[in-house]
Every structure is written in structure tokens, then in C-alpha cells.
Amino acid sequence: MDGPVRILHVVVNMNRGGAETLLMNLYRNIDRTRIQFDFLTCKPGVFDQEIKELGGRVHRISYVTESGHFKYIQSLRRFFQAHKEYKVVHSHMDKMSGFVLRAARQAGIPSRIAHSHNTSSEGGWAAKLYKEYAGYHLLQNATHYVACSQKAANWLFKKHASDSILLKNAIESAKFRFSTDKRKKIRSELNISKDCFVLGHIGRFNLQKNHSFLIDIVKQLVQTHPNVILLLAGDGEQKHIIQQKVNSLNLQQHVRFLGIREDIHHLLQAFDVFVFPSHHEGLPVTLIEAQGAGLPCLISEHITREVDMGLGAVRYLPITTTTPWVNELTTLRLHQKRYENSDQALVENGYDISSSAKMTETLYGKMVGI
């Protein structure tokens, strides 16, 4: 065999979402002399340049929202017919993977992986109906099932959930270890005072992440604790709506929009608590990272219990009312702490990237016989 085996990963784009962050963590840590990652995307992404520097290729076709259903299906079929060199296709598009893997099967690609990163589809009723149609083709065309959590497997694979492989959303745990010096440095760069109580959230601005609820929490919290700030890292289609809400509530001094950050491992050092009130999730990488930094985490009760590393850092709260969130934050403000041995807890729970990278290499190796 000449050179490494090339695995094709299919995503919408390689921006800083949970699935994409996991992929890059794996890519940086696998043995690239044996296995290389290539990507089929629909839009430019912030990781594209790094992928190329690591030896990967980035292919691109138009997404269904730009090209329409029939042209999108045609583009998938043409791509796989033209790229039969791939023996393994790994699709990360939840129910939309049905269309991807059907086109791969029609082109004769033998190993076709469906990967579940979520527990619900995004979008309005029309988008969800369309994705349901796409999902109908998934179980017929996938040869392997992978999920970030059992809850995510149950949602996407249904009767095949028990056949799925759980691949944990692992991170480079040593990078996230808490450091007082790093905390001082990043707080200084952000011009945040020593006694300011910092709430932090990292995630794409969409309805799933429930940013509006976070703003309601801040509005209530600052009435009794004015020295509070919420840092929001990320971008997305709902960002301008959240900015408008912040302005209308006169919270500009208490909410900062940091955009897409490349230094999440440093940014987490500046937080005092991580807040995450999502409506649904698979198993968020950001919550693993936050625990890796030893942060207390207040999270939605809709998120799988599998995300808890056993540090005592995670509290599950309802998202029907802000009151328990404000009460917990008030207590945390009075008794601020970081959880120790967090990186060791990640290793023990299988969330260090080295173990996930080895597992991934073994999975692909069995498929291609290396």
C-alpha cells in the first residue's frame, strides 16, 4: 500500500462546532503515517487551512439549502462516483447522513459510518420533516454506527442503537488544566477585574443553545450582584437577535460577544462558572473542556448524564425557569472554587484524546485491513 489510508469525513463545514472540534482533536493525534483524514464539505471553515497543513484534502459541493434537493443529491452521486479511491466514508450530518451514505453505497464504497452527535434535529417543522425523510435512508445504507453518547445513539439509530460504537468526545486534557497565571493573563487581556464574577458559555448561536435564557439569567442576577459579566464565545444565525435583546435590556455592560475563538483552553481559565442551558445535545465537547479546566458547570437537565466526569462540578437544572440558575450562581459567587485533579478524571473516564485516537485507528484499521 502506497502512503496512508485516506478516510473521508463528511460535514457541512469545518468550523468550531462540537463534532468538528472532536474531528480535529482526533486528526492531530492519530498516526498520520497510517491514516489520513480528508473532508467533504459544503462551506469554507476555519479549520480548512490546518487540515491542508496536516496533509488532508478539503473537497466541496454546494449544500442542499443553496442548490436544492435534486442538485444536492446529484452532486453527492457525482462526487462519490469520481472518488472511488475512498474505502471508508464517515458522515457526521446526523439524519442528513442518509443521503450521503446512500450515494456512497451506490458508488460501491464498502465501509459507510453514520455518526450521531445530537439527540434532536435542528430547524423548523419543514426542515425537520425533510431531515426525517433523509434519515429514512440512513439505516439502509450505513454499515457501521458511531455515537458520542448512548442517548445520541438511541435517537438516530433506534433499533440499531445497541450495535453502535460509543466514541467519546475526547480532548487534549493537559491543555485545559487550570493555571492561576493563565487566568490572570487572559483576564487582563479581556480587561476583567479580579473581583468580577464571570459566567461563560461557548456555543453556536442557534435556538438549540438557548442563549435567550442566558440573557434572562443575567438580567435577574445583576439586580442583586452588579459586578457580573457573561462572556459568549461563538457565532451563528441567532447572534444578532441575542445582541438586540441585550441592548433592549440595557445589559451591554454585562454581556460580551467574543466571536469565534481559537484559544478556548485559555478562555476557560477566565471563567468562574460555565453555563449551558441547551434544549438538547448529544454530548457537548465544551462541557468536557469546562470540566477539564476544573469549572463548576450549570447545565440543562436535558443533557445526558454521561457528560458528568464525577468531580462534583456538574449541576443539572430545569430550563423552564431562571430561578434555580440564579440561586445556584449566587451561591457559587460566594463560594468560588476550582475542582482539582480534573485532567486525571478525564483520563479515567476515557475522555483524553489519546485513548479515543487509538480507538479510532483500530476502527478504521479493521475496515481496511491494516
What is the Cα–Cα distance from 73 to 257, expressed in whole angstroms?
37
Q: Which are the contacts of 61, defined by CB distance < 8 A and separation ≥ 6?
A: 40, 42, 67, 72, 75, 76, 79
Q: How much is the pLDDT for 342?
A: 85
Q: How much is the pLDDT for 211?
A: 97
Segment 91-142, tens digit of pLDDT: 999 999 999 999 999 999 999 999 999 888 888 888 889 999 998 999 999 9
Contact 258, 232 (CB under 8 A): yes
| CB atoms closer than 10 angstroms to residue 139 | 16
Q: State what percent of residues in the chain have pLDDT above 70.
A: 100
Q: How much is the pLDDT for 287?
A: 94
Contact 344, 311 (CB under 8 A): no
DSSP notation for 40-83: EESS--TTHHHHHHTT--EEE---HHHH-HHHHHHHHHHHHHH-
Residue 3: is its pLDDT beyond 90?
Answer: no
Residue 341: is its pLDDT beyond 80?
Answer: no
* Number of domain units in the chain: 2
Same domain, 207 and 341: yes
Residue bearing cell 460501491:
108
Q: How much is the pLDDT for 1?
A: 55
Q: Which of 210, 214, 205, 206 is nearest to 278 (CA)?
A: 210
Same domain, 133 and 182: no
C-alpha cell at 320: 423552564
- Largest alpha-carbon pair distance within the chain? 67
Domain containing residue 344: 173-348
Same domain, 262 and 283: yes
Residue 255: strand pairing partners? 230
Rounded to the nearest integer, the mean pLDDT of the chain is: 93
Same domain, 208 and 333: yes
What is the Cα–Cα distance from 216 to 213, expressed in whole angstroms?
5
Same domain, 220 and 253: yes
Residue 176 is given by DSSP the state H
- Average pLDDT of the residues in 189-214: 95
Q: How much is the pLDDT for 196?
A: 95
Burial letters for 302-334: b for 16+ Cβ neighbours within 10 Å, e otherwise? Answer: bbbebbbbebebbbebebeebebbbebbeebbe
What SS3 class is residue 99? helix
What is the Cα–Cα distance from 338 to 183, expressed in whole angstroms?
12
Tell how strand 165-166 and strand 197-202 pair up: unpaired
Work out the pLDDT band at 330, boundaries 50, 70, 90: very high
Same domain, 55 and 105: yes
Segment 82-91, tens digit of pLDDT: 999 999 999 9
What is the Cα–Cα distance from 81 to 91, expressed in whole angstroms?
17
Angle made by CA atoms 60, 20, 137, in degrees to the nearest 5:
65
Same domain, 144 and 166: yes
Residue 156: is its pLDDT beyond 70?
Answer: yes
Same domain, 328 and 188: yes
Same domain, 228 and 282: yes
Work out the pLDDT band at 173, boundaries 50, 70, 90: confident
CATH number at residue 186: 3.40.50.2000
Same domain, 328 and 359: no
Cα dihedral sign, 224-289-114-55? positive
- Average pLDDT of the residues in 214-237: 95
Same domain, 136 and 42: yes
Which has more confidence, 238 or 336?
238
Same domain, 165 and 232: no
Q: How much is the pLDDT for 328?
A: 96
